[in-house]
Homo-oligomer: A and B are copies of this chain.
Amino acid sequence: METTPETRATASHDGGHGAADVVDNAMPCGADRLLRMLWGQWKTHVIYVLGEQQACRFGVLRRRIAGISPKVLTTRLRELEADGLVWREQDNTIPPKVTYGLTETGRAVHHVLRDIEKIEV
């Protein structure tokens, strides 16, 4: 799902008969792409925690998100980094020190998260 970005809207060959009910492929839904960056069990929590401070180390992040396993946290962070929502800074020392934070886009997302929170359900 994450690996194949455009698996849909591939049905434009059309049998050849006159198309009147041809599907509306001009689906706007740019929000879909961004929302997809927020799918997955812990994404919002990561954004939240990172949004509360300027930067955060891996271990701290992990402790602040109760119940997440290191593997999953790493995966989430890599996804968010690949999507340009999170930056990562690594010290190649022993012991290693890796710091994470939100990018500008990440902060924008953090902001809409706060808006979403306000919706009464």
Q: A66-B11, A112-B112 are in contact. Are A117 and B25 (CB under 8 A)?
A: no
- Copies in the assembly, this chain: 2
- A94 interface contact, C-beta 8 A: no
A112 to B112 CA separation, bound complex (whole angstroms):
8
- List chain B residues, Cβ under 8 A from A41: 1
Instruction: Name the CB-closest residue of B to A43.
Output: B35
List which A79-121 residues lie within 8 A (CB) of chain B.
Answer: 83-84, 105, 108-109, 112-117, 119-121
A10 interface residue, CB < 8 Å from B? yes
Q: Is A55 an interface residue (CB 8 A)?
A: no
**Interface flags, A52-92, vs B, CB<8A=1, else 0:** 00000000000111110000000000000001100000000
